[in-house]
Amino acid sequence: MTNQQTHKREATQQNLAKIKVFKSPIEGSDFVAKQIESLIKRKQKQNESCVLGLATGLSPVLLYKKLIELHKQKGLSFENVITFNLDEYYPIPKENPFSYNYFMYDQLFDHIDIKRENIHIPDGTIALDEVNPYCDAYENKIKAAGGIDLQILGMGSNAHIGFNEPGSSRTSNTRLVQLEEETRQANSIHFDDPKKVPKAAITVGINTILQAKEIVLLAWGKRKIEAVKKSVGEAASIQVPASLLQNHQNCSFIIDEEAAQGLNKKTFQKKD
Ligand code: GLP
């Protein structure tokens, strides 16, 4: 048996998502890290920037570890890389160890040679009356960089992507959103006190995500079984934000065997 099995939903126009099932999160993360490595190198040869959309949470942690390893041990340079993170709590200072700004430097940026001016993470300290223009400017920066070449996503247990909670519009762009109680509770594991989980966040929109040239969603473990099942095993609905990725032309769900347990094998064609 190979480490990777590809499940491709029988072609309907509605569900174009590719599902790649790996034995473990490490194998799935290594696969995506190599994909990013090739993209960065291809762009380097063409003298172009490589624009990555990045996520926080536990799902991409092993991917970031692998990218750091590729930098330190194989000399992979991130000098031509521009990044845009999906989201940040609001309000929260950047120095707060529970902020996504802190997380990204701690888990990735402090360990690679990316230019600091190429890093973009929503700012959780913007004054409330400046949030809307700030969000418009964030969208414009993505466009000015040439759009996102590869968007990495995790997903919440309610299938939220970024902080686009169930019910978010397909046409949504970067904006301030309220967090669901379920999300605040799930994310409280990262905080020292559940009461400190902010009630709002700045997130890129579903539309912003769908405009990426390529999307890779990572989901590991039993706690993602339901979200995976609803996102790729059932019809797309705005109540299940990650299911809206089904319509994207170049989107893969990179999952492990545990997260794949809810998928109906009859509906999916297995490929080696
Ligand atoms: C947060 C982030 C999402 C992330 C989700 C899943 O809510 N805003 O972008 O996908 O957490 O987190 P984890 O990867 O820890 O399961």
- Give the global pTM: 0.94
Q: Using CA atoms, how far apart are residues 123 and 92, in angstroms rounded to an integer?
A: 8
Strand partners, 85: 54
Tell me whether strands 87-90 and 200-203 are parallel, antiparallel or unpaired. Answer: antiparallel
Residue pair 78/109 in contact (Cβ under 8 Å)? The answer is: no
Q: From CA 86, how far away is CA 177, in angstroms rounded?
A: 13
Distance between Cα 157 and ligand 1 center (Å) = 8
Q: HEC profile for 111-178? A: HCCCCHHHEECCCCCCCHHHHHHHHHHHHHHHHHCCCCCEEEECCCCCCCECCECCCCCCCCCCEEEE
pLDDT tens digits, 116-162? 999 999 999 999 999 999 999 999 999 999 999 999 999 999 999 99
Nearest CA to ligand 1 atom 1: 57
CA distances from 160 to 68, 87, 123, 178 (A): 27, 12, 20, 13
Catalytic hit among 30, 88, 123, 165: 165
How many angstroms is it from 47 CA to the middle of ligand 1?
33
Ligand 1 atom closest to the Cα of residue 190 is 15
129 given a catalytic annotation: no
Ligand 1 centroid from CA 42, angstroms:
29
Q: Write down the pLDDT at residue 15.
A: 83
* Spacing, Cα 155 to ligand 1 middle (Å): 5
pLDDT value at residue 179 = 97
Residue with the smallest CA separation from ligand 1 atom 3 is 162
The residues of the chain scoring below 70 in pLDDT are 1-14, 266-272
Any catalytic annotation for residue 149?
A: no
- Name the one residue in this structure whose structure tokens are 């491709």: 8
pLDDT in tens, 196-211: 999 999 999 999 999 9
| Catalytic position from the list 160, 164, 256, 258 | 160
In this prediction, residue 264 carries a pLDDT of 77
Would strands 50-54 and 81-85 be described as parallel, antiparallel, or unpaired? parallel
Distance CA 39, CA 41 (A): 5
